[in-house]
């Protein structure tokens, strides 16, 4: 991760506009990630690249001792402001995810949600998460899938629309602040040396497909949410097609 990425305008990393499919995706990703931890009250859990800390506050309300590790001073400042507005027992530490300042086997669980592809050394992050998590604990990662059904359909559409105005980044293009273009095969290859994978599931389907977003925008909200839940069930069963892949496993010795 480049240092310049850490303190840029937060509009680059915090959505300034929302849609029903984006809201659904972010909420489902949060639920799937935290549920995969299997953490119980009293457990000690590390949130790696914790951002503004909404996941830590949720865990703390459930009686879990959460530690948020974040390299950006601005993100940490925003997290502490929100901590003060929504009191919760959360410890915050400024640290690089590839060199965590914690003892080996010091957490019951650790997770990294939506940030692994931002690191220039993602393997270092995975190795550190496995190191600081006890052998019976769980490491959970949620990673954007750039080989999802939505990305495939969008690429196919643009191929047939060659010659039309296609300026700007499409959602299947890796953003400038991402360093790895993850697909299921690459993700599995990178995780297996450090984690014994126990859970592999998908979250959301067809995010970024214009026709799908248009349909969701035309129907009543209740119908849109029903369609999103149906699509998400497909994503859970076929994670290779999902918008986000959530993986959980125990550290390898």
pLDDT, tens only, 20-29: 999 999 999 9
Once rounded to an integer, what is the mean pLDDT over residues 206-211?
A: 91
pLDDT, tens only, 112-150: 999 999 998 999 999 999 999 999 999 999 999 999 999
Residue 167 has pLDDT above 90, yes or no: no
For residues 193 and 4, the model is more confident at: 193
What is the model's pLDDT at position 197?
97
- Residue 158 — very low, low, confident or very high, per pLDDT cuts 50/70/90? confident
Residue tagged 């690249």 (tokens): 49
Residue 69 has pLDDT above 80, yes or no: yes
Residue 87 has pLDDT above 70, yes or no: no
Q: Which two tokens stand for residue 203?
A: 């979250």
What is the model's pLDDT at position 224?
97
pLDDT, tens only, 41-51: 999 999 999 99
Cα 134 from Cα 116, distance rounded (Å): 21
Residue 13 has pLDDT above 50, yes or no: no
What is the crossing angle of helices 221-237 and 210-218, to 10°?
Answer: 140
The structural domains of the chain, ordered by start, are 3-251 (3.40.50.150)
Whether residue 47 contacts residue 100, with contact meaning beta carbons closer than 8 Å, is answered with no
Encode 167-196: b = buried (16+ Cβ within 10 Å), e = exposed: eeeebbeeeeebbbebbbeebeebbeebbe
Once rounded to an integer, what is the mean pLDDT over residues 91-97?
A: 95
Q: Which two tokens stand for residue 17?
A: 């506009």
- Residue 159 — very low, low, confident or very high, per pLDDT cuts 50/70/90? confident
């Amino acid at each position: 991760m480049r240092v310049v990425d850490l303190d840029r305008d937060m509009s680059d990393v915090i959505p300034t506009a929302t849609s029903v499919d984006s809201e659904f995706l972010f909420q489902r990703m949060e639920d799937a990630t935290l549920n995969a931890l299997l953490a119980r009250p009293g457990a000690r859990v590390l949130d790696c690249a914790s951002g503004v800390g909404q996941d830590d506050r949720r865990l703390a309300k459930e009686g879990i001792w959460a530690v948020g590790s974040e390299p950006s001073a601005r993100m940490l400042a925003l997290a502490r402001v929100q901590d003060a507005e929504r009191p919760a027992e959360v410890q915050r530490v400024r640290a690089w995810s590839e060199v965590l300042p914690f003892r080996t086997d010091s957490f019951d669980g650790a997770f990294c949600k939506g940030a692994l592809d931002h690191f220039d050394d993602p393997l270092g992050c995975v190795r550190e998460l496995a190191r600081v998590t006890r052998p019976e604990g769980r490491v959970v990662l949620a990673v954007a899938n750039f080989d999802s059904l939505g990305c495939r359909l969008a690429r196919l559409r643009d191929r047939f629309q060659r010659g039309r105005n296609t300026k700007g980044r499409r959602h299947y293009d890796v953003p400038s602040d991402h360093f790895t273009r993850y697909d299921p095969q690459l993700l599995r290859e990178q995780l297996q040396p450090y984690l014994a994978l126990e859970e592999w599931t998908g979250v959301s389907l067809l995010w970024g497909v214009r026709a799908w977003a248009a349909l969701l925008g035309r129907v009543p909200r209740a119908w849109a949410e029903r369609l999103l839940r149906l699509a998400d069930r497909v994503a859970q069963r076929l994670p290779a097609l999902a918008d986000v892949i959530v993986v959980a496993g125990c550290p390898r010795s």
